[in-house]
Amino acid sequence: MAFHEKQLPADAPIADKALNWVDARFPLSATWKAHLSEYYAPKNFNFLYVFGSLALLVLVIQIVTGIFLVMHYKPDAALAFASVEYIMRDVPWGWLVRYMHSTGASAFFVVVYIHMLRGLLYGSYRKPRELVWLFGVGIFLCLMAEAFFGYLLPWGQMSYWGAQVIVNLFGAIPFIGPDLSLWIRGDYVVSDATLNRFFAFHVIAIPLVLIGLVVAHIVALHEVGSSNPDGVEIKEKLDAKGIPLDGIPFHPYYSVHDIFIVTIFLFVFTAVVFFAPEMGGYFLEYNNFVPADPLKTPPHIAPVWYFTPFYSILRAVTSDFMVWLAAGVAAYVALIILKTRLASKFKVAAAVIGLLVIVTMFVTDAKFWGVVLMGVSVMIMFGLPWLDVSPVKSIRYRPDWHKYVYIVFGIMFVVLGYLGVQAPTPIGTAVSQIGTFIYFGFFLLMPWWSAMGTFKPVPDRVVFHPH
């Protein structure tokens, strides 16, 4: 494309000339228009749609505070804990930066969980937004990795032993497990080598991937357009100028709305930072204010709250539970064979795979299957666009009993999260095992239950009431 610079009048304002000079060399105005002032979003957005913007805000907070923490942190097993104490006690405003970063980590997961819940309720993962959802789940995985690698850095008791337990879980994988654990740690135990590689991943590797996925997520979203609570595609109804009839420019309408919500969020965020940064031990565990001691194991080791639903699934898999798990696999394979229209070869393949899985369950350790289920409980979200076969996208137009399915799933997810921070008990383990079946049943049975019931007619245009 040939270089072209607009000819402005000699008396044009300096700002216009500067912008014209930049636009001729970089698509600044075009980018602003494509993603803000001329990006048309549905006019019926509700409160839940602000959490994407909040996630971006928290990402910026984490990056900025992380930069300032790295200036004073020492990734050395002999100095790490003392360097964190130095930041808290001697660095001017260091305590504020550290608490903003630790609170930001929990805030990130609160915001992202609500953002994913909104996508689940309104079918934001359905065609044509499959890639938007896949990039989003990739972001979620990166957040989990980022939080895990950063968890060791304070080098406190819970950091040390939490990392020890999680890394040792990889040792349950047959054949490659012990070598894989050794490779992750860089040593036979969690040590200075582990701290250095976790620091490198937390500060450089994962953030680069995370930022790339965030950019891809936003670009993919703006390519296909935002979803809305009605599940109506606004790009299908255009005016003579090609502008969606049910769309309004993101800026200034939603940008101003988001700034208002951001203000409220920052009030809550700063209240937590100043008055309850530990949040009763959920955001910052009390054991983490004690230096790491390889010779003294804490009485109860648990990950931070945002990992605990998946940690509960891991702990639910005991040797006794394997029988029920095998029965669940057998029942699911029978359901595929009897209640699907797949070709015979696919049904035979499902039967063979199911049989192999069941046989493997009884010749391998239950701990291994706990690790498998914990990993699959996250990875299964990638399949959501193809598991949901409902004729409508939004929960608004699904049968009323579908709402109870989502409510049961949500309650059980919270219960699993709560049980994950508690010491294991027989009753807690039994509830976790029931919760594990409900969690996987929600996704694996979705091809059947999502298509059942009487669906309400979806309107041609979005339902919008001016206010």
What are 289-315's pLDDT values in tens digits?
A: 999 998 888 888 888 999 999 999 999
Instruction: Give a yes or no: residue 4 inside a domain.
Output: no
Establish whether 4 is an annotated binding residue: no
Contact 335, 327 (CB under 8 A): no
Q: 356 and 438: one domain?
A: yes
More confident residue, 29 or 138: 138
Q: Which amino acid is at 353?
A: I
Give mean pLDDT, residues 186-191: 89
If asked whether residues 261 and 379 sit together in one domain, one would say no
**Domain final residue, candidates 260, 285, 310:** 285
Residues 380 and 263 in one domain: no
**pTM score, two decimals?**
0.94
State the chain's mean pLDDT as an integer.
Answer: 92
251 annotated to bind ligand: no
Whether 197 and 320 share a structural domain: no
With CA atoms as reference, report the closest residue to 436 among 409, 402, 405, 403.
409
- Same-domain status, 131 and 279: yes
Q: Is residue 222 part of a domain?
A: yes
Q: Give the domain CATH number at 421.
A: 1.20.810.10
Q: Is there a binding annotation on residue 115?
A: yes
In a domain, 132, yes or no: yes
460 in a domain, yes or no?
no
Mean pLDDT of 150-172: 89
Q: Are residues 98 and 237 in the same domain?
A: yes
| 77/221 same-domain check | yes
Does 228 fall in a domain? yes
Q: What is the 3-state secondary structure (H, E, C) of 377-432?
A: HHHHHHHHHHHCCCCCCCHHHCCHHHHHHHHHHHHHHHHHHHHHHCCCCHHHHHHH
The mean per-residue pLDDT over the stretch 48-54 comes to: 94
**DSSP symbol at 172:** G
Residue 342 lies in a domain: yes
Contact between 397 and 455 under an 8 Å Cβ cutoff? The reply is: yes
Tell me the residue range of the domain where 386 lies.
302-448
**Is residue 290 one of the residues assigned to a domain?**
no
Query: 277 and 309 share a domain?
Result: no
Model confidence over 62-86: pLDDT tens digits?
999 999 999 999 999 999 999 999 9
Question: Is residue 361 domain-shared with residue 253, that is, in the same domain?
Answer: no
Q: Total domain count for the chain?
A: 2
Residue 361 lies in a domain: yes
- Encoding tokens for residue 216? 């891809």
What are phi and psi for residue 114, nearest 5 degrees?
-70, -40
* Cα end-to-end distance, the chain, whole Å: 46
Inform me whether the pLDDT recorded for 210 exceeds 90. Answer: yes
Q: What angle do CA 285, 317, 442 make, to 5 degrees?
A: 90
pLDDT digit string (tens) for 109-137?
Answer: 999 999 999 999 999 999 999 999 999 99
Q: Is 64 helix (H, G, I), strand (E, B) or coil?
A: helix
Residue 349 token pair: 């393949």
Residues contacting 119, CB < 8 A, separation 6+: 125, 133, 136, 227
Please indicate, yes or no, whether residues 193 and 317 belong to a single structural domain of this protein: no
Question: Which among 57, 100, 64 is positioned nearest to 264, based on CA atoms?
Answer: 57
Last residue of a domain, one of 285, 318, 338: 285
> pLDDT class for 208, splitting at 50, 70, 90?
very high
Residue 242's pLDDT band, with cuts at 50, 70 and 90, is confident
250 and 350 fall within a common domain? no
What is the band of 273 on the pLDDT scale with cuts at 50, 70, 90? Answer: very high
- How far, in Å, CA of 234 to CA of 223, rounded? 13
Domain boundary among 241, 258, 285: 285
Domain check: are 408 and 342 in the same one? yes
Whether 72 has a binding-site annotation, put simply, is no
> Does 465 appear as a known binding residue?
no
